[in-house]
Structure formats: C-alpha cells, structure tokens
Amino acid sequence: MEKALLIVDYTVDFVAKDGALTCGEPGIALEDYIVDQAADYLKQQLPVFVINDLHEIHDPYHPESKLFPPHNIRGTKGRNLYGKLHDLYTEHNQEIIWMDKTRYSAFAGTDLDIQLRARGITEIHLMGVCTDICILHTAVDAYNLGYTMVIHEGGVASFNAIGHDWALSHFQHTLGATVIAK
C-alpha cells in the first residue's frame, strides 16, 4: 500500500497568534510534529502534499466570505506556510507538492485525486487545521473516493475544542479511519 502525507492549511493565517483566522496555541503546538513527519516522509521518498486555502481580496460569491473573516488572501504573508514548515518547504520545494484549494476539502478545486492515483497512493495521512472543518471535509471526500485514512491526533488542531474531539471520533467511528493518538 502506497501512502502520502497531506498537510492542510498549516499557514500563518490559520496558526500564528496574529493570524486572520487562527486556532492559536493548539495549532502552534503541532509545528514540530508536522515538520518531523514531513521530513521523515521526504527521507523515505514518500509524497508530501501541502494543500491550502486560496482566497482573493474580496469574493462575495465564496460561501466562506459570509462565515469567516478574510484569510489566506493571495499575496499576503498570512498565506505562507507557518514556521518551520515554511523553512522545510523552501528547502524541499521541488519535492513537496503545493496545491491551492477552493473550499474546505483538499479535493475541492484541485487535482489531488488524480495526483494520488497517478502515484498509486491508496492510503493518506492527514495533518493540519482545522480538525472539524478542512480536515473533516477532506476526510469525508477521501472516504467517498475510497482512500484508507490515518489521522494523526498530534498533527491536527482546531479553534473549537468540542468540534475537534467530535471530529476525531467521527473519523474513526463513521469514516473508518485510523486515529493515531498523541
């Protein structure tokens, strides 16, 4: 079984204390775990994808514009990968695959499914933020597309602790994912 690591929305706007839509400390606490996992995947020559929200300055037709403040705007520092992940990407930008998504799911507006299938990937490992939003929607789409999923509890966080806990249970008990405990 071939596997790949998917890191979703681990950007300045979602993680940094002054990010536009930050999950703050819970997100910051993931940094070393995510970077260590990504470095390990690269060392093993396994695919690493970073898939991030991309928004324009003002898009009144995007559904998130009614729900959340502007975030991950094209050309802003908030759209950069957070902390050490940014450094790892800078060092390995020929190996790490960057994708821009248009909605919560990493499959929305991307060719992620095509890229995974081209590489023979059947198992995806999910990390990033927010557990109960973008990770959840990615997992639902992955389930519907037939992927085996592993969710790294030490690699996901949210600004909603109740939603985070609910999503971890949902991954395991409804989507059949393996949840690796912290």
Helix intervals (H) in 44-123: 83-91, 112-118
Q: What pLDDT score was predicted for residue 1?
A: 63
User: Tens of pLDDT along 110-124?
Assistant: 999 999 999 999 999
Low-confidence ranges of the chain (pLDDT < 70): 1, 55, 58, 68
Which domains occur in the chain, in start order?
Answer: 2-180 (3.40.50.850)
Residue 61: count of CB within 10 angstroms of its CB = 5
Beta strands in 45-116 (DSSP E): 48-53, 96-101
Q: How far apart are CA 134 and CA 132, in angstroms?
A: 7
Quote the pTM value.
0.93
Rounded Cα distance between 45 and 43, Å, is: 5
> How many CB atoms neighbour CB 166 within 10 A?
15
